[in-house]
Amino acid sequence: MTTAQLTKSFPGLERALYEELGKEGQLKEFREGEIILRKGQFIRSAVLLLEGTIKLYQEDEDGGEFFMYYIQPGEACAVSMICSHEQETSSVLATAATDSTVLLIPLSCMDQWMSHYKSWRQFVIQAYRSRYQELLNTISEIAFRNMDDRLEFYLRKQVKQFGKIIRFTHQEIANDLNSSREVISRLMKKMENNGWVILHRNSIEWIKDDFNAA
Amino acid sequence: MTTAQLTKSFPGLERALYEELGKEGQLKEFREGEIILRKGQFIRSAVLLLEGTIKLYQEDEDGGEFFMYYIQPGEACAVSMICSHEQETSSVLATAATDSTVLLIPLSCMDQWMSHYKSWRQFVIQAYRSRYQELLNTISEIAFRNMDDRLEFYLRKQVKQFGKIIRFTHQEIANDLNSSREVISRLMKKMENNGWVILHRNSIEWIKDDFNAA
DNA sequence: AGATCTGTGTAACTTAAGTCACGCAGGCCT
DNA sequence: AGGCCTGCGTGACTTAAGTTACACAGATCT
């Protein structure tokens, strides 16, 4: 891992920190669909995402999985940073939404770098901030909004992440929203009638392009 | 503010850090019901809670308030730490559930202390971790559980916080759970029939003492 | 081609939760 | 006492969402 490569994903860090990252970090690849972090798993290193997309879920005792947010290249998995500091286990599920490359940082480095590098402190704080914010958004959605709003919100997230062709089945969407296939089909049909989407087999095409309005 | 007093609420910090806390921190009192942090407000200092209880809400655009968790003495408001680092505004509402004393830390100290004091780094990380965890719990609850479970969970939180006499009206509980008074009254009646609570005017008595079982 | 599987559409029904309407009891004020 | 306000109880109804059941179309396999 060269400094140049790291700079692309994680701009603005101190020169010496890039070298540490390259020296201490361990590269690991995950294929689409693989589980990166399982609920209840111990974590021995912080996870920085170099390439790909990670999908974060909250898991229920009885099999439910609730999608919370995506992690982008250049971002870190806040849970991994949190857990790596004590002997606590992950309470979330992280999977590779696409083939992904991550950099694993031994937890022993975390505290050292915190004291040495201002940019690392900022990076960590920023990681927490944005993840915390995502959770707040998620709470807002499920506490205050109905299924139709939430579905729209969900679809917009996919479009932002992967483009206007959303390659999910209704069943997969239902799982992500902790709803049922029929409900999603119904709402989706309504959206199609409103001219927001075109429904295909195995995919949905987002055609509403006023990308801001409610 | 003497080191002795600070030690009581925040044990295990470095000696020099206590002095800094005493020197830089500014005491502020809030009376029960007062708003400590409003949604959209700028934050110029981190908030550490010395005495009392702070109640944290997620606020909706149209007036809804959704209770998320309590902050205890010795804990910090994670949002305030997050926000103080950039020009972002608070996205939550914090009120004093009881008369409270807080210590305000200028944001300029945050980064300095982060690099100098290991115990401060741990404190900050710990603050993030526990708050993040609270949000995850909250999400679990509203994503996977029905109102009756959520109400039970809510009441248990109150009992843990304030004891077996819960001094809330049904209306206030309904607001906290983003539900309606009638629904809460109904569920509460069911709980009374099951022998879990005794309902009084303006208060609820929790009498189920197997404090672990579902 | 025929058989099978997976994803989608839809009607009919159930259930949880929210809403409307009203009654009533206890506290408080005059 | 009489009047009034606030909090609670409850029945009747509406609505959102989950469930059951089935039909059908396109893809894949043989």
The per-residue pLDDT for range A109-126, each reduced to its tens digit, is 998 999 999 999 999 989
pLDDT confidence of residue B3: 87
* Percent above pLDDT 70 for chain B: 94
Residues A119 and A169 in one domain: no
The verdict on residue B213 lying in a domain is no
Among B133, B136, B142, beta carbon nearest to A142 = B142
Structural domain boundaries enclosing B12? 3-143
Phi and psi torsions of B101, nearest 5°: -120, 125
Q: How confident is the model at residue A214 (pLDDT cuts 50, 70, 90)?
A: very low
Residues A77 and A154 in one domain: no
Q: Are A111 and A46 in contact (CB under 8 A)?
A: no
Q: Testing the interface with B: which of A112, A114, A116 to mutate, by most B Cβ within 10 A?
A: A114
Please state the rounded mean pLDDT for residues B45-62. Answer: 94
pLDDT confidence of residue B103: 97
Instruction: Quick: pLDDT tens for B5-33.
Output: 899 999 999 999 999 999 999 999 999 99
Q: How far is the CA of A202 from the C1' of D26 (A)?
A: 11
pLDDT confidence of residue A86: 61
Q: Which of 63-122 (B) contact A at CB < 8 A?
A: 64, 66, 68, 78-79, 81-83, 85-86, 88, 91-92, 111, 114-116, 118, 121-122
Cα separation, B157 vs B60, in Å, equals 22
Residues A102 and A153 in one domain: no
- CA nearest B120: which of A114, A80, A13, A88? A114
Q: Testing the interface with B: which of A62, A65, A111, A135 to mutate, by most B Cβ within 10 A?
A: A135
pLDDT confidence of residue A77: 93
A127 to chain B: closest CA residue = B82
- Out of B92, B108, B143, a domain closes at B143
Residues B77 and B107 in one domain: yes
Average pLDDT of every residue of chain B: 93
Total count of domains within chain A: 2
- Out of A107, A128, A143, a domain closes at A143
pLDDT confidence of residue B44: 84
A142 in reach of chain B (CB within 8 A): yes
The verdict on residue A214 lying in a domain is no
Residues B132 and B155 in one domain: no
Q: What CATH number does the domain containing A191 carry?
A: 1.10.10.10
Residues B100 and B157 in one domain: no
The verdict on residue B97 lying in a domain is yes
Q: What CATH number does the domain containing A118 carry?
A: 2.60.120.10
Instruction: Quick: pLDDT tens for B68-120.
Output: 999 999 999 988 887 655 667 788 999 999 999 999 999 889 989 999 999 99
Residue B94 one-letter amino acid = A
- Residue A87 pLDDT greater than 90, yes or no: no
Residues A84 and A111 in one domain: yes
DSSP letters, A132-157, are: HHHHHHHHHHHHH--HHHHHHHHHHH
Residues B39 and B110 in one domain: yes
Q: How confident is the model at residue A18 (pLDDT cuts 50, 70, 90)?
A: very high
pLDDT confidence of residue B214: 44
Please state the rounded mean pLDDT for residues B189-208. Answer: 97
Residues A156 and A136 in one domain: no
- Out of B143, B174, B190, a domain closes at B143
The verdict on residue B70 lying in a domain is yes
The verdict on residue B212 lying in a domain is no
- Residue B51 pLDDT greater than 60, yes or no: yes
- Residue A213 pLDDT greater than 70, yes or no: no
DSSP letters, B79-111, are: HHHHHTTTTPBP-EEEEESS-EEEEEEEHHHHH
pTM for this one?
0.92
Residues A138 and A176 in one domain: no
